[in-house]
Structure 1
Amino acid sequence: MASNDQVESLAEEAICPICLDFFTDSVSLECGHNFCRSCITQSWDREGRNSCPECREEFTDRTLRVNRALAKLSEKARTLSLNQTEKESKLHCDTHQEELKLFCETDKKLICVICAAGREHKSHSFMPVDEAVETYKEQVKSSIQSLTTNKSAIQEMEEQQKQNISQVREQSQSLKSHVTSQFAELHQILVKKEQHILGEIKDDEEKTLRPMEKNLQDIHENLNSIEEELSKLQGRMEQTDVVLFLKVRGYVSFSFNETAVTAL
């Protein structure tokens, strides 16, 4: 049987330097270096030139030779590596380095046959690992079924809760729309009422101001008349010619509009 070192050495020889995995459809370049066919062609396409990734030697064309010996070596290394990995995956006892083939039901742990014969596990109950796996698989299966049932029940509760939430939101939205509509109608009514009241106030204002403005106009006319008479009298007072002063006959009469004053 091959040792770990031998398997590792063989694996190193069968590893593609580009993908770092076992060769697949191995080919050789003119320089003697080996690669997977897909790895080297993709490298050339990516680089845009036909050169060896190992030694950087360039080639005029893409000449690839199938390396059947390396393909067989790679396949053998792959098989040995898988077998070695499978072997290493088996658990062994830390104390006796024996494979853990038994399960101690008392301590709930894996043990080897030497541990089972020792004093630590004296009078304990054991069963083969495979049988223990099946037994506990049944328990796990039962737990899964129970949890699945609980999950279904909770999912139903979740769905029901989502429906309740959706229903509350719909009712709330409907109520909001109704309130908005009602307040819009009230707003229209208030606007009309406001316009009506403002119209009445405006009418009352015009009725009240109309005679007052007429009186004000009469007052202005009286004032203008008084100003004209005062101006005339002032002119007479300033007359120095006695003849001209006395030439004006009669007396000055002035008609005053008492109605306008009374209206104030």
Structure 2
Amino acid sequence: MAEAQLFVSQEEFICSICLHTLTDPVSLHCGHSFCLKCLSDCWDQSQVCSCPQCRHVFMLRPELKRNTLLNEVIKKLKKTAHSSPSSKNYAGPGDVECDFCTGKKFRAVKSCLTCLASFCQTHLQPHYEIAAWKGHKLVDPDRNLKEKLCEKHQKSLEMFCRTDKTCICMMCGMTEHDGHEKVELETEREGKKKQLGATLRGIRRRLEEKEKKLRETRKTVEEMKVS
């Protein structure tokens, strides 16, 4: 049987006292875990032994023993993070964050117009592996996914109505825009891109012609000065 893949990261194993990845983790009866040293120091400085996270009070100071299983999980996560290039792909200013990362978020590599969410490389994998998700429409990371929805039908804007010059969803195309001239949004986008490219080339050509005339005029002036 193939091994199931569990999407977790180091950021999910943070000590709430030092705010770093757990070191020699110990788990209390209330379910919360801390670094052995952090919790010991905390209790040494307090007259009451309580959980620093949920404030559950222990009548007797529990004996702290390292959680062996949790410690091995964290070790493997650290090893995976150091060997994986994705460990350096944290989202920075201007990047689109992964909506499924917890703690410090990774940079999104794709946004899904069907899920209306953005995914890092790890959390994107189900879209390539799960049959029901393979048909979803993936695009480059986009922080304004809600703007891609039709306000009336809450469906993806997949078409362009050339009659009304507006983006519409499939439901709009079958109702109020029925009979209008419509094309796929991507087709209209490519057409506009080509028009813009042609316009820019025309502007550059005219600028080059003006610069050439300016050089010729300057040359003529210099020749007149010499003569």
Report the TM-score range of the alignment, normalised by the length of the smaller protein: 0.3 to 0.5
**Higher helix proportion (structure 1 or 2):** 1
Greater strand content: 2
Q: What is the TM-score when the length of structure 2 is the normalising length?
A: 0.39
Give the TM-score taking structure 1 as reference length.
0.35
Greater gyration radius: 1
